[in-house]
């Protein structure tokens, strides 16, 4: 498998990263995941790269030329033979390697590390069709969740809880209000209106969330970015989790609470259908 690491295409077993890389030592970096759907290709690349630019700016990581990334993921998809099947590109940038270890930034001459890979991706067809159960846990993350950092320990722990309790994902609440999932944004439907937590420093501005809001406008579905109290969950007609790998997945149970009639809802189906139409470019 080919990777792209610091200006070069390399075979994965020949790729090396310094033990002093700040990504390894401090999780001092950010990442993106972009979906590849044949025959159209990478989906929403510009939006992903724009979010990456934002993260780099916020963390003051310099020296990554975002404009180079698109041709690199295209080349990797070709070299790794994905062009006929679904795949994902993983893009990670860190503040680079510096010795001795120190919390504060290394000298400006330290180059950042850019790692890009692609891998085959199998869609979660059954979950998307039948709906899933998610857990609800407390959001213990920091208050800059708008940056897609590689520091993902709370996400890892909450996702592991889900795996251990036969759920698909964990969604979080902070001070009683729903934020998002470990790798998804949360949407709900009540009386024909789509609700999703508003953009803030407590959620990642998901690309799929943006696409879903765009779909609502296209389909004349009213939508509202609003605070969602945990106590409202029992009154929702439908719930869904949305994300690059999750697409639009119906949530039919939260912990032991059945949502609506316990089956994927009609609005979720309409949004899924429109998402696939957009992906196919029709
Ligand atoms: C915490 C979090 N929220 C939301 C999302 C969904 O974002 P996107 O639709 O851009 O994949 C992700 C994606 O990984 C995520 O990690």
Tell me the CATH number at 254.
3.20.10.10
Q: Whose CA is nearest to atom 15 of ligand 1?
A: 183
Helix (H) or strand (E) holding 126: helix 125-130
For the chain, 282 residues long, the average pLDDT of each consecutive 10-residue run is: 97 98 98 97 98 98 98 98 94 98 98 98 97 98 98 98 98 98 98 98 98 98 98 98 98 98 97 98 82
- Which of 120, 155, 177 delimits the end of a domain? 120
Ligand 1 pocket, 55 CB below 6 A?
no
Verify that 149 and 272 share a domain, yes or no.
Answer: yes
Residues 31 and 111 in one domain: yes
- Looking at the CA of residue 48, tell me the nearest atom of ligand 1: 10
Q: What is the Å distance from ligand 1's center to 151 Cα?
A: 14
Structural domain tally of the chain?
2
Q: How far, in Å, is the centroid of ligand 1 from the Cα of 246?
A: 9
Q: Which residue has the tokens 């709370």?
A: 154
Pocket test for ligand 1, best of 124, 197, 244 (most atoms within 8 A of CB): 244
| Residue located nearest, by CA, to atom 5 of ligand 1 | 184
Q: What pLDDT does residue 282 have?
A: 73
Task: Please tell me the predicted confidence (pLDDT) of residue 83.
Answer: 80
The count of residues in the chain is 282
Q: Are residues 23 and 139 in the same domain?
A: no
Q: How many CB atoms neighbour CB 259 within 10 A?
A: 26
Q: Do 131 and 235 lie in a common domain?
A: yes
State whether the beta carbon of 248 lies less than 6 angstroms from ligand 1. no
CATH number at residue 36: 3.30.470.10
- What are the distances in angstroms from CA 281 to CA 42, 85, 181, 249? 12, 16, 28, 20
Domain end residue (candidates: 74, 96, 120): 120
Which of 102, 120, 138 is where one domain is finished?
120
Please indicate whether residue 206, judged by its CB atom, sits closer than 6 Å to ligand 1. Answer: yes
- Say if ligand 1 is within 6 A of residue 212 CB: no
Residue 275's domain comprises 125-280
> Are 142 and 37 within one domain?
no
Angstrom distance (rounded) from CA 81 to CA 2:
10
Which active-site residues does the annotation give?
148
27 token code pair: 């999780």
- Ligand 1, atom nearest to 145 Cα: 1
Considering the domain architecture, whether residues 116 and 131 belong to the same structural domain is answered as no
Question: Same domain for 167 and 49?
Answer: no
- If asked whether residues 54 and 23 sit together in one domain, one would say yes
Residue 148 CA, chain-centre distance (Å), reads 8
pLDDT digits (tens, 9 = 90+) for 36-58: 999 999 999 999 999 999 999 99
Query: Do 135 and 98 share a structural domain?
Result: no
CB atoms within 10 A of CB 13: 8
| SS3 annotation, 122-169 | CCCHHHHHHCEEEEEEECCCCCCCCCCECCCHHHHHHHHHHHHCCCCE
* Same domain flag for 185 and 101: no
- Only one residue has tokens 């290394």, namely 106
Does 263 share its domain with 235? yes
- What is the distance of C-alpha 5 from the center of its chain? 22
Domain identity same for 187 and 81? no
């Amino acid at each position: 498998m080919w990777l792209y690491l610091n200006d070069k295409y390399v075979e994965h077993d020949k790729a090396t990263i310094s033990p002093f890389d700040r990504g390894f030592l401090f999780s001092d970096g950010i990442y993106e995941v972009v979906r590849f759907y044949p025959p159209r290709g990478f989906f929403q690349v510009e939006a992903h790269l724009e979010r990456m630019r934002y993260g780099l700016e916020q963390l003051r990581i310099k020296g990554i030329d975002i404009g180079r990334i698109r041709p690199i993921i295209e080349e990797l998809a070709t070299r790794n033979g994905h062009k006929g099947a679904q795949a994902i590109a993983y893009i990670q940038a860190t503040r680079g390697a510096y010795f001795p270890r120190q919390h504060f930034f290394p000298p400006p001459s330290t180059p950042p590390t850019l790692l890009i890979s692609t891998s085959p991706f199998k869609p979660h067809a059954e979950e998307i069709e039948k709906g899933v159960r998610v857990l609800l846990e407390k959001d213990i993350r920091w208050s800059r969740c708008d940056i897609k950092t590689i520091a993902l320990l709370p996400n890892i722990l909450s996702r592991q809880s889900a795996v251990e309790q036969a759920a698909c994902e964990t969604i979080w609440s902070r001070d009683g209000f729903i934020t998002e999932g470990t790798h998804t944004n949360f949407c709900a439907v009540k009386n024909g209106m789509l609700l999703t937590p508003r953009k803030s420093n407590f959620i990642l501005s998901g690309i799929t969330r943006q696409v879903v809001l765009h779909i609502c406008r296209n389909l004349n579905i009213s939508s509202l970015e609003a605070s969602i109290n945990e106590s409202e969950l029992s009154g929702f007609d439908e719930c869904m989790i949305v994300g690059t790998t999750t697409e639009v997945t119906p949530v039919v149970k939260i912990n032991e609470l059945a949502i609506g009639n316990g089956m994927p809802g009609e609005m979720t189906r309409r949004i899924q259908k429109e998402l696939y139409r957009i992906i196919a470019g029709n």
